[in-house]
Chain A
Amino acid sequence: MATYTMKEAKPAPTTNKGVVFWLRENLFPDVKNTLLTLAGLYILYAIIPPLLNWMIFDATWTGSKDEVVNSGARWIFIVEKFDQFMYGFYPEALHWRPNLVGILSLVLIFGFKYIGSVKLKIATIILFPIICFVLISGGWFGLEVVETEKWGGLMLTILVAAVGIVASFPIGVVLALGRQSNMPILRTLCIGFIEFVRGVPLITILFMASVLLPLFFHDGIEFNKLLRALIGITLFQAAYIAEVIRGGLQAIPKGQYEASEALGLTYWQGMILIILPQALKISIPNLVGSFISLFKDTTLVLIIGLFDILAMVTLTNSDTNWLGYEVEGYVFVTLIYWVCCFSMSQYSKSIERKFNTEH
């Protein structure tokens, strides 16, 4: 029977992983970096605890405004005005309608990929906006009419952004294709439109939409303020979308066009089946970047008298009962904007992963 003897244990090698090593390597490698690290830590120490104290630990969440004793944020303002921030002047009894639209939208966003047939998908895309419009504005199926003047708050922000995104997308695609067209008149028109719109600020377009558009129509026709803003934003966004998509189209190798032609596909078949799916896929990051900008730009509608969420905060701050709550209001709006934009960027990443056919 063989005998085995335990080998003497070797000393452990000098550590090259673990927390201590990482700290020494990255934060305290020499005197200069150590000083910078310490300075950085001090700045964090100076900012974070007071911020947390103000926002959370010393904050007042409930009760009435006369009972506030804490030094932190008085979130009771937000709680009190929450409905106005969300819905503007939309009648309280009817808040379930925009809520339902919100829930339907979420179901659609996350459930769309589970819809099996293409026909059903197209039907959904066409029907969904109509359902949303009917729900929010009313007037059919016994739903009480709510005039657009009463729409506001986050609801209006999301609505303007959503309409801007959905409506500008097809226009942008057509403009991008038109810009590449062989037909000189069509190409010139598309280039002219894109370059004109890109050359002026959104605020000018909104002013033009609200002041100029009515001039084109006879006196009798009352042109809805919200509709004017939506048209302006859609046209503005379409020009940017067109340029983003043009970038995607140009990145598609010539061989793809040739292969689809050689197989006998028509121009539109080739575009819809072969070129656009690829061009849009590589455009996703830039498209979403553009959509996020638009979401933030929608706040400019306040200058033509629409009350989006930011305008609602400003408005509620002029309530004589609630003077001096600006900070809470604007911090709240900032958080809302951030959550929305961050969600959009995360959603775009998940779409990118889904369309990745490399491996």
Chain B
Amino acid sequence: MSDQEVMITMKDVNKWYGDFHVLKDVNLNIKKGEKVVICGPSGSGKSTTIRCLNHLEKFQEGSININGTELIEDVKVVRHIRSQVGMVFQHFNLFPHLSVLENLLIAPTWVHKKPRKEAIETAMYYLERVKIAEQAHKYPNQLSGGQQQRVAIARCLCINPEIMLFDEPTSALDPEMVSEVLDVMVELADEGITMICVTHEMGFAKKVADRVVFMDAGQVIEENEPNEFFDNPQSDRLKLFLEQILSH
């Protein structure tokens, strides 16, 4: 693996909330264009891990390198990294006081300083892509959960990110809306963007992921390509976890 190909390197990352050790020596290397699914029981540190990547969470030890930039606590560095990393949240976090279109224009016009006209064209293109262009002038609260999450994905795409982080994107959705969001994510995966996705959707992991990472109690327990991961788990902890989530 040459340096050129590496997109994300996490090296011995440790994080504490007070005395509570949330991340223990997390090491993760992700290549450009790779799709990685992180799973694990709740409280295992999966969300915290990906939130460290765009500095929504600070870490105390170790190092993170994103697309050649060392993540340090410096406003400019953090902004530079965030401008390449899109994040989709569990609860969408659209801006309720702005229309769907305005939600998509904020980052391109204010962070990337694109002319408004160009930004609108890009925004409409991505709204088309997530099949929601006709709702452009509605407000987020007028849309269903699935539609809101698709808008949130489009909002990230508008900044043309190198990396997309998904933090349990379907967990807050009604069951019948999960597939419309997953469909968009599968399409996205086909385009070669680097994706890291925290999810419990094992079907999605099997279909899309190049690699599945299992975390428990703040540590990476096991990582493997999906077939091996699901059919031939090594650790007892993963075996138990897979039994629990696949038993239904």
Contact = CB atoms under 8 A, between A and B. Distances in A.
A255 B93 contact: yes
A325 B107 CA distance: 65
Contact of B89 (A258, A265, A281): A258
Contacts of A144: none
Given A264-B82, A266-B79, A359-B142, A258 B107 contact: no
A263 to B, nearest CB: 4
B96 A278 contact: yes
23 contacts: A255-B91, A258-B89, A259-B95, A262-B56, A262-B85, A262-B86, A263-B106, A264-B82, A264-B159, A265-B107, A265-B110, A269-B110, A273-B110, A274-B95, A278-B95, A278-B97, A355-B97, A357-B97, A357-B141, A358-B139, A358-B142, A359-B141, A359-B142
Contacts of B79: 264, 266
Contact of A262 (B82, B95, B110): B82
A323 B87 CA distance: 75
Interface size bracket, A side: 20 to 34
Contact of A265 (B86, B97, B106): B106
Contacts of B142: 358-359
A263 B82 contact: yes
Contacts of A260: 95, 106
Interface of B: 54, 56, 75, 79, 82-83, 85-87, 89, 91, 93-97, 106-107, 110-111, 139, 141-142, 155, 159
A262 B56 CA distance: 7
Contacts of A277: 97
Interface string A41-77: 0000000000000000000000000000000000000
Interface string A260-294: 11111110010001100110010000000000000
Q: Is the interface of A mostly helix, strand, loop or mixed?
A: helix
A262 B87 contact: yes
B97 to A, nearest CB: 5
Contacts of A274: 95, 106
A355 B97 CA distance: 8
A256 interface: yes
Interface string A228-263: 000000000000000000000000010110111111
Contact of B141 (A253, A266, A273, A358): A358
Nearest to A266: B79
A255 B82 contact: no
Nearest to A262: B87
A266 B83 CA distance: 11
B160 to A, nearest CB: 12
Contacts of B110: 265, 269, 273
A167 to B, nearest CB: 26
A263 B155 contact: yes
B159 A263 contact: yes
A357 B139 CA distance: 6
Contacts of B97: 277-278, 281, 355, 357
A264 B96 contact: no
